[in-house]
Chains A and B, each alone.
Chain A
Amino acid sequence: MSKSYWRSAKIRSIGLAGLICLALFMLPQAVLFAGSGSYMGFSYALIILVVIAPLFFLAITLLKISLLRRLDRSHDIDEEDRLQRRAHPKIMRAFPVDGTENNEFHWPLGVNPNFNDSSSSDDQNDPKNPNKSPERVEGQKQ
């Protein structure tokens, strides 16, 4: 992960947070500017506060999810296993040509980074951690 790459993600995240703060602060101003008209019986102020403002915050959250998927380092953890396999060809032994996954050849050896069995996720006896622990991620980085 290059420094400029991470910096770009950081700037965008903080920028979006700043936009949210600005929107919150300016919301009463927007209500005042909306005037005293009404639409279908509801005043403009009510429509702004109840519909438009929450939709705006939802849109920013969705924008953040989609915009930062490529840039934000936090999302890359999901991609990290794939990148690791690409960087270390021997890990590909975990996925032979016939498509049967071999847990023994995952990197680090014996740890399956893709284990994410949602169908049995409610089995209380399942001791597996389907995601990454910090130790394992560190191991992969090594």
Chain B
Amino acid sequence: MISRRKVIKSAAAAFAATPLLSMPFVARAQTAGRVVIVGGGFGGATAAKYIKRRNPDIAVTLVEASPRFYTCPFSNLYLGGLRDFDSIGHSFDELTDTYGVELITEWAEGVDGDAHTLTLASGETLGYDKLLLSPGIDMRWDGIEGYDEAAAELAPHAWKAGPQTELLRSQLEAMDDGGLFILSAPADPFRCPPGPYERVSLIANYFKESKPSSKILILDSKDAFSKQGLFQAGWQELYGDMIEWVSLSNDGRVIRVDAENLEVETEFGEIHRADVLNVIPPQKAGFIAEAAGVTNEGGWVPINPETFESQQVSDIYVVGDATIAAPMPKSGFSANAQGKVAASAIVAALTGEEAPAPSWANTCYSLIGPEYGISVAGVYRVENGEIISVEGSGGVSPAEADAEFRAAEARYAVGWYDAITQDIWGSQPA
């Protein structure tokens, strides 16, 4: 890892040693503009790479607190024992070494939109011409009574990949056969709409192999979920009656958590006791978005769909789960697609050109079993100032499909992960 100071120092040394060669580079970098990006995930790392690909003379600084980024996509495969944790971690080496992105491994703490500065945890400030935030989500710790950060150490959310994910896996491993795993799923909108249902699928696959008398209960704060028909048919086919789903209307909404006793209480007073408890709480845009003043009263970020620039603060672009971009889902694929559109808009703005017309697609693969994949796809455009799903495109996998079709989609799910992590971080398949 190269610290910012080291980069600056070595640049200065190079300047002193070979002024004739360095000077034009420095001058060019200054005129092309400076972009600061917060968040090295699916949106931010993509934007960093694609800004550099479009115009290498733009100075790009990426601020990311973790030296390695662990993806929520495919963390369910880790939870189900199908992958090791390392295989979902990605470095920033390609961005720094191949694309010349400056990496600062620190938390961003504040933004002054008028002064065009970002403040880091160290107190250092960075100036920018354009700021791009890809902050992901934060949990609403006031969303469910009793579920705060301390409770999450006993009943993990595991909805940001990292120590929480490893904690949940260790609890599943330690659970006795015949135990009950409870997952509390939030109301819309939240990160990765099919994620909770893929999670229970792959945990069921693990139970089926290792702890076959165990049960899974999903307590849901909504009455319908992504790819519901396909998930429920797949659960029946692969896992019989191991998985039970309780909808909002059937008293599925968890209103209180007692993490010490692994108990949850639903709206109408029923108490459920788990052996392993996974609470996915309500969410909002990541902290730095709020600090920058780009969130609305609902805690999410309204953007101009043509460019993903904030509607509230100019020269700040926001991509990914933090944004209000429906009908695009809050997915890693969407964040990547939005990062590319924002990158082209930023490059155009810095060179005084009009942003090209945006175009996005999304594909969310989910694994119901290691050889049983399903998908939902969409293609999106801007029409009359709003993001729309292109008529006649997209949709879910067919309800009637043979085992070969499901196996092909499972292979493509892995192919997708290999491709998108190469596209973003330059990673090679595990």
Task: Tell whether A and B belong to one assembly.
Answer: no
Interface residues of A (CB under 8 A from B): none
Residues of B within 8 A of A (CB): none
